[in-house]
Structure 1
Amino acid sequence: MSPPIHDAAQRGYTLAPDSYQRGRPEYPPALVAWLDSPLGVRDGARVVDLGAGTGKFTHLLARTGAAVTAVEPVDAMRAKLAESLPGVQTLAGAAEAIPLTDGEADVLVCAQAFHWFANAQALGEMHRVLKPGGRLGLVWNVRDEACDWVAAITEIITPYEGDAPRYYTGQWKRAFEGQALFAPLQLTEFPHSHEGSFEQVVIDRIASVSFIAALPAAERQAVEAKLRALQQRFAALREPVIAFPYVTQAWQAGRLA
């Protein structure tokens, strides 16, 4: 039996699929070469996008010519994915109970998702679904807090995170400690930015954060007001087009026998 989806993810992503689609960045072009090698995402490969959300990463995978299966537990997110990518097989399922047969995939990837299900049961399921010699990829677009106004955004939203799993804490890595399913993770980093209006890259982006989307309406409005106030502090946020800086962190490991 799968553990229940964390409440922040279930409620937040159910309420905010549109903000997620508008406000989340795509992925850097340089990531395409990484998907090809070392991961092996290429024409004819069988690839699983686990925790696929609205399909932001699925679009990139589909362009490689791979046979992609997207697995997503939140109905509202999965509906957005199916609408935008009708040619991709889209399944309801959780990381702890992936609805695929043993050894069905050459590659399994999780983008912006693994920290939600970083546990031994999920890791075992990923190992089961991958063929011998298959590869696992974990990708996150991480806000670059070396930028002063990005750091200020983080200061506004962090008090609301509660017990929601977060990538930046590194707690997700514990799932790989002492296990014999995958080789040690290897990291590649890519600079990235998301360009758009303040409404898109700041307001919609933060509205798509699970624990912000799950807040009562009055608290969400208070967060938005604090974000808008940043425009008075930082001239860059008053530009018609803002480049929101990210670092894309891509981790990969081979499946062990």
Structure 2
Amino acid sequence: MTSPRPIHEAAQRGYTAASDNYQRGRPEYPEALNAWLQDTLGARAPARVVDLGAGTGKFTKLLARTGATVTAVEPVDAMRARLSESLPEVRALAGTAEAIPLPDGDADVLVCAQAFHWFANTQALREMHRVLRPSGRLGLVWNVRDESVDWVAAITEIITPYEGDAPRFYKGTWKQPFEGQVLFAPLQRTVFPHSHVGTFDQVVLDRILSVSFIASLPEAEQQSVADRLRGLKDRFAVLREPTIAFPYATEAWLADRLPAP
């Protein structure tokens, strides 16, 4: 096990401050993903599965339903505490992608949901390779906002100026560690349509205020972002409806572990 890299400040501060918003506002995952997890990734009994960067346990809960033995690894104390509160039966460990607190070959499957872009580096890939058994599998999952929808694109316009150097899925830089490496086979992508249904406060305000670089802003700036989001109701009638379906695409990526070079 190698020494950890520092957690990005936006993740440490934002997710510590916003664990409640994260739990309320982050979407669940589409039902169709269950078959992918079990049949394609191999996350089913009696497999041992690691949920790396588990957050408050939204994805951990889905993994636990497969019947696999699940271990959650999460570096942010506030997030891990929420996970343990909601899923007391799941072992939850403090750790990072570069220093996973598990022995060699301990896992059949390792999954990162909404997380890999935070630690997309060669050191993390080596550590994941170490923890996975021979012929183990790595899964990467993201719920991605559908910005072909006008009001979703308008939300992105509001928040993007605040992102700074925070890693983001849409930038695609998370793929770089897989280029030219000999630890994992080429990534395979599957996409599932998805939507997050709820009130405006749930699916827009809580969701966006849980974004790391928004949650780490001073309170007055967070309030300014919230006010601008509420202002979108004047432009888009759908946002004035009692129930809103926020459109997503759930991207599921698979990479097979290769033998040690």
Smaller-chain TM-score bracket: over 0.9
Secondary structure at 1:10 match in 2: helix
Deviations 1:116-171 (A, max 9, x none): 00000000000000000000000000000011100000000000000000000000
The aligned counterpart of 1:6 is 8
Secondary structure at 2:184 match in 1: coil
How far did 1:36 drift? 1.2
Report the Cα distance in structure 1 between the residues aligned to 2:177 and 2:160, rounded to whole angstroms: 24
Look up the equivalent residue of 1:110 and give its one-letter code.
C
1:212 to 211, 214, 222: 214
The aligned counterpart of 2:159 is 157
Report the Cα distance in structure 2 between the residues aligned to 1:205 and 1:101, rounded to whole angstroms: 35
Report the Cα distance in structure 2 between the residues aligned to 1:36 and 1:62, rounded to whole angstroms: 11
C-alpha RMSD of matched pairs (Å): 0.4
Report the Cα distance in structure 2 between the residues aligned to 1:103 and 1:176, rounded to whole angstroms: 20
The aligned counterpart of 1:60 is 62
Report the Cα distance in structure 1 between the residues aligned to 2:229 and 2:77, rounded to whole angstroms: 29
The aligned counterpart of 1:190 is 192
Runs of 4+ in 1 over 2 A off after TM superposition: none
The aligned counterpart of 2:148 is 146
How far did 1:43 drift? 1.5
Unaligned 5+ segments in structure 2 are: none
Deviations 1:42-86 (A, max 9, x none): 121100000000001000000010000000000000000000000
Look up the equivalent residue of 2:90 and give its one-letter code.
V
The aligned counterpart of 1:123 is 125
TM-score by length of 2: 0.98
Secondary structure at 1:90 match in 2: strand
Worse-matched range after superposition: 51-60 or 31-40 = 31-40
1:166 to 168, 172, 180: 168
Look up the equivalent residue of 1:252 and give its one-letter code.
L
The aligned counterpart of 2:226 is 224
1:108 to 104, 107, 110: 110
TM-score by length of 1: 1.00
Secondary structure at 1:159 match in 2: helix
Look up the equivalent residue of 2:180 and give its one-letter code.
G
Report the Cα distance in structure 2 between the residues aligned to 1:43 and 1:227, rounded to whole angstroms: 43
Identity of matched residues, %: 76
How many residue pairs match? The answer is: 257
Look up the equivalent residue of 1:38 and give its one-letter code.
T
Look up the equivalent residue of 1:73 and give its one-letter code.
P
